[in-house]
Amino acid sequence: MPSREGGCTSCDEMLAHLQAFLDHECEQSVSERLARHVAECEHCAQIADAEQHLRAIIRSRCAEQAPPELRARVLGRLAVLRGTSGVASVSRMTSTTVSRDGSRVTVTRTSSMRVERE
């Protein structure tokens, strides 16, 4: 496995930055280094391909969105909370669980919203 010396990237570094790399969130120099590593390392290329495949499955299974009326009500309520109740921040958390039973793949996505007051 290549080491980090001389600008090379290790498999450990690739794995540590895999999500950011696939999301195009790395600095350009890091992204270029990781891309070179994936091109040269079959092990990391397989891991990156598997992650991209998993993401494609999740996207295809989690395409359902809340109805526009519900979205409008939630956003309206949040606007009221922000304006009158001293809301410091609103955060949204989404977790996705993928399980496999033989050839059957189950994807479960859970979303929650947290409102913190000042």
pTM of the model: 0.49
CA–CA dist 74, 111 (Å, integer) = 13
User: What average pLDDT does range 22-37 have in this prediction?
Assistant: 92
Q: What is the dihedral of CA 95, 96, 99, 104, to 10 degrees?
A: 150
| pLDDT tens digits along 65-92 | 778 888 888 888 887 777 755 555 667 7
Q: How confident is the model at residue 84, as a pLDDT?
A: 57
Q: Indicate whether 9 pLDDT > 80.
A: no
Q: How confident is the model at residue 88, as a pLDDT?
A: 56
The beta-carbon contacts of 29-38 under 8 Å, at least 24 apart in sequence, are 33/7, 33/8, 33/9, 34/9, 36/9, 37/2, 37/8, 37/9, 37/10, 37/11, 37/13, 38/14
**Lowest mean pLDDT, pick from 3-7, 46-50, 71-75:** 3-7
Q: Indicate whether 112 pLDDT > 50.
A: yes
Q: Read off the pLDDT band of 101 (50, 70, 90).
A: confident
* Paired tokens of 94: 């989404």
CA–CA dist 88, 113 (Å, integer) = 14
Q: What is the dihedral of CA 83, 85, 89, 93, to 10 degrees?
A: -110
